[in-house]
Amino acid sequence: MVSSDGELQLYTPVADDDHVDATAGRRGGVPAIAIQVKTAREVDRNGLVEAKADYQVGRVREHPAFLYAVLLLPSVTIETIWLVPSPDFNRLAYRHTAGDREILEFRGDPSRDDRYSTFRIPPLETGPRLLAVIDSLAEHIPLHGLSGSGGLMLAARRPRTS
């Protein structure tokens, strides 16, 4: 919100049962995108930020209005952010199944080139980039579910809470 000059409005859903931690839209408008936030406090022993999303097999979210925010947040300051369209995230993420769960694993290096480096952005560009996504969408958050084609993942690095 800070980096959008007040143009970006964030809304928090009452429950996180559907992989949505926040919705966002332009000031004065309605929510247009849904965001799932993943955080990490530090890099792992290989120097990578790790974030996982798990779904029931065959139910992985993918839609132009659905984004992931992966944050490296070692303190109260966001250190690194990746903004990744969900089709790219779903294609690039390591995948495996555990029982009836499908797990997508993001592993990005905060400083070196890797499969996610083209999606790494300066933290203060987050607001303008989210507004650009909102403005580029032909359709906003679907009324029923968030499956289909397209989508965006925002990835950044923050304290890991789980």
Q: Which letter does DSSP use for residue 91 in this model?
A: H
What are 146's two structure tokens? Answer: 């968030």
What are 73's two structure tokens? Answer: 């947040």
Question: Is the Cβ–Cβ distance between 132 and 83 less than 8 Å?
Answer: no
pLDDT of residue 150: 43
Q: How far apart are CA 4 and CA 32, in angstroms?
A: 15
What is the residue-averaged pLDDT of the chain? 83
Kindly compute the dihedral angle of the four CA atoms of residues 53, 79, 121, 68, in this order, to the nearest 10 degrees: 20
pTM for the whole structure: 0.69
What sign results for the dihedral spanned by CA atoms 43, 92, 151, 119? positive
Share of the chain above pLDDT 90, in %: 46
Q: Which letter does DSSP use for residue 78 in this model?
A: -
pLDDT in tens, 2-59: 789 999 998 888 776 778 888 999 998 888 998 888 999 999 999 999 999 988 898 8
Q: How much is the average pLDDT of 138-162?
A: 48
Q: What is the CATH number of domain 2-157?
A: 3.40.1350
**Closest C-alpha among 49, 19, 23 to residue 36:** 19
Question: Is the Cβ–Cβ distance between 117 and 109 less than 8 Å?
Answer: yes
What are 160's two structure tokens? Answer: 């890991």
